[in-house]
C-alpha cells in the first residue's frame, strides 16, 4: 500500500486558475486517482464519504504499522540519542563538541 500526496493551490475565482484546476482534476479522475478537495467547493463531501467507508480500512495493517513506527521498542533508540545530546549540555556543553 502506498500513498502519495500532492498539494496544489488554485484561486478558482480567477478564470485561468479555475481552468487549470478543472483540467488537472479531470486528468487525475480519468487516470483513476482519487482527488480530495480540502478548501472550498464540495470538499466536505470527501470527508463524509471517508467517514462512511471507515469499515473498509485494514485495521490489522494500520495497527502493525503504528506499532512499528511508534512503539517504545523502536522509539527507544530515538530517545536514547536525544538524551545523549542533552547530556552534553550538562558536561562541558558546546565546548565538548
Annotate 26-44 with three-state secondary structure.
HHHHHCCCCCCCCCCCCHH
- The residues near 8 (Cβ < 8 Å, ≥ 6 apart) are 21, 24
CA 28 to chain centre: 19
Confidence of residue 63 (pLDDT cuts 50, 70, 90): very high
Q: What is the pLDDT of residues 11-44, one digit of tens each?
A: 778 899 889 888 888 888 888 776 665 555 555 6
Averaged pLDDT score across all residues of the chain: 78
Amino acid at each position: 500500500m502506498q500513498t502519495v500526496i500532492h498539494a496544489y493551490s488554485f484561486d478558482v475565482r480567477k478564470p485561468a486558475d479555475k481552468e487549470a484546476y478543472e483540467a488537472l482534476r479531470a486528468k487525475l479522475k480519468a487516470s483513476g486517482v482519487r482527488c480530495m478537495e480540502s478548501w472550498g467547493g464540495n470538499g466536505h463531501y470527501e470527508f463524509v464519504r471517508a467517514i462512511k467507508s471507515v469499515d473498509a480500512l485494514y485495521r490489522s495493517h494500520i495497527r502493525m504499522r503504528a506499532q512499528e513506527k511508534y512503539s517504545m521498542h523502536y522509539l527507544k533508540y530515538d530517545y536514547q540519542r536525544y538524551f545523549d545530546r542533552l547530556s552534553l549540555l550538562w558536561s562541558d556543553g558546546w565546548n565538548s563538541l
